Amino acid sequence: MAASDQKAIMHPPTGYELGTSNYERYTDSVFESHYNIVKKIFTKYGFPGYRLVGKDGAKSFWLIVQHCDKWPKFQEKVLRKMRHEVLNNNASGENYAFLVDRVRKNKGEKQVFGTQVSFDITKSQAHVKDLEDPEHVNQRRTSVGLESLESYLNRMSINHYNMNKKVYQKKGIKGPTLYQVN
């Protein structure tokens, strides 16, 4: 399921162009199918941590929940259970941070860790909107095992540029705009 989730987002089948309603219907069908399965898993086991499904299994479960944006109450329930597993060294603090921000963003609240990005397509640069206490974001990121915000944004900018290289090159943009890393 995690592989098909990522394929839907990054490598959709021929005929499904990013940003089209056809593509959105395709990803929605993948996400809904996965939601129905992970909901059953969650009902039976709670957040399936390392001791139950291993690190890859826990990461796959989290990844699928990340994309359950149409079911925010479910994401919140998972987040509460996942926090308990993180505190018991049975789930990833990094993944938890991503889900915290995803849930907060879906609720219209400010992000804590700056994991959910948008892109300035005029210069191929990732940025974070609505960040709580930006002066201390790197301290919070470090506390859960994440790289600095600047390094993360640079990585996201490079990935986004590479995924959309032809479009950017047509616009005369030869590479992403990167942040200075201290």
- CA 110 to chain centroid, in Å, comes to 15
Is the predicted pLDDT of residue 84 greater than 80, yes or no? yes
Count Cβ atoms below 10 Å from residue 121 Cβ, excluding itself.
13
The rounded mean pLDDT for the chain is: 94
> Angle at CA 34, nearest 5°, toward 146 and 50?
45
Q: How many residues does the chain have?
A: 182
Is the predicted pLDDT of residue 10 greater than 90, yes or no? no
pLDDT for 24: 87
* Between residues 129 and 17, the one the model is more confident about: 129
Is the predicted pLDDT of residue 117 greater than 90, yes or no? yes
Structure tokens at 72: 């925010």
pLDDT more than 90, % of the chain: 82
Nearest C-alpha neighbor of 23 from the set 41, 36, 11: 11
Three-state secondary-structure class, residue 87? helix
Looking at the DSSP bridge assignments, the partners of residue 119 are: 126
Looking at the DSSP bridge assignments, the partners of residue 111 are: 131
Is the predicted pLDDT of residue 18 greater than 70, yes or no? no
pLDDT for 154: 98
What is the phi-psi region of residue 102: left when phi exceeds 0, alpha when psi lies from -120 to 50, beta otherwise? alpha
pLDDT band at 182 (very low <50, low <70, confident <90, very high): confident
Structure tokens at 25: 């219907």
pLDDT for 83: 97
Each residue's pLDDT tens digit, 27-50: 999 999 999 999 999 999 999 999
Q: Do 87 and 49 meet the contact criterion of CB atoms below 8 Å apart?
A: no
